[in-house]
Amino acid sequence: MSQAFIEVQGAEMVFSTRKGQFHALRDIHLQIEKGEFITLIGHSGCGKSTLLNLIAGLLQASQGVLLCDRREINAPGPERAVVFQNHSLLPWLSCFDNVYLGVESVFGASEAKPRLQERTQAALELVGMAHASAKRPHEISGGMKQRVGIARALAMEPKVLLMDEPFGALDALTRAHLQDELLKIVARTQSTVVMVTHDVDEAVLLSDRIVMMTNGPAATIGEILRVDLPRPRERVALADDSHYLSCRKAVIDFLYTRHARSEVAA
């Protein structure tokens, strides 16, 4: 059996707060294969973004070990690119320059400027934003900003793409369109993706496996659901697919029956 590409071995996360210690995550064990699309889903406060940040190296686990490509994760690295819900674009730079900044940070020491520009242009073309390369963030829509954020991440040629509710702030139609585009991009790049979402349909549409988190504090992985739907996936064709509906029901049952929350999450 081959070793997993990403491994989380007994990870715990405890935060120090004014009110004392807060146990966010406990006993997390997760293996992700190269090229897999994994979504993390659960109620607010279940630690899914915390787990993503541990894989990104933005947080250090209180206990346990995390590995990417057999190397311990102890800091952020260019092999793990992160796309946040907020696009995080620099407002004074054009779309091209926002992407170029990421490219230069990874390849600037080893490649000439023309090659860096080629990488930047190719990434914008991949997400359908080449036509807006000269525009600044305030001149484009929210969905277009997210495309540029994804382009910046992909341009760094990461081994892993980490996405924290990247479409959460978008309207339903824009969200659906970008989900479809993400499916095409991942098919072309063969990226390994770990994505946080609160949307059941998004999780089933995109995922190879859905990691369902129990409620916090001291949240852990409650169940992992394999989504054996063939790719490429078409949302309209899946609407009446029995396996799609079965997966959707399983996630809803986990979230709203077995792990329902009676209180409003902080």
CA distance 193 to 4: 14
Cα angle 38, 21, 86; round to 5: 40
Residue 143 has pLDDT above 90, yes or no: no
40 DSSP 8-state letter: E
CA distance 107 to 105: 6
Alpha-helical regions (H) of the chain: 48-56, 95-107, 113-126, 142-155, 172-189, 200-206, 235-238, 242-253
Q: How far apart are the first and last CA of the chain?
A: 42
pLDDT tens digit sequence for 148-184: 999 998 888 888 999 999 888 788 888 888 899 888 8
Q: How much is the average pLDDT of 211-228?
A: 95
Q: What is the pTM of this model?
A: 0.90
pLDDT tens digit sequence for 115-138: 999 999 999 998 889 999 999 999
Task: Kindly report the backbone phi and psi dihedral angles of residue 49, in degrees, each rounded to the nearest multiple of 5, phi listed first.
Answer: -70, -35
**How many CB atoms lie under 10 A from the CB of residue 232?**
9
Domains of the chain in start order, with CATH, are: 6-79+158-258 (3.40.50.300)
pLDDT (0 to 100) of residue 265: 38
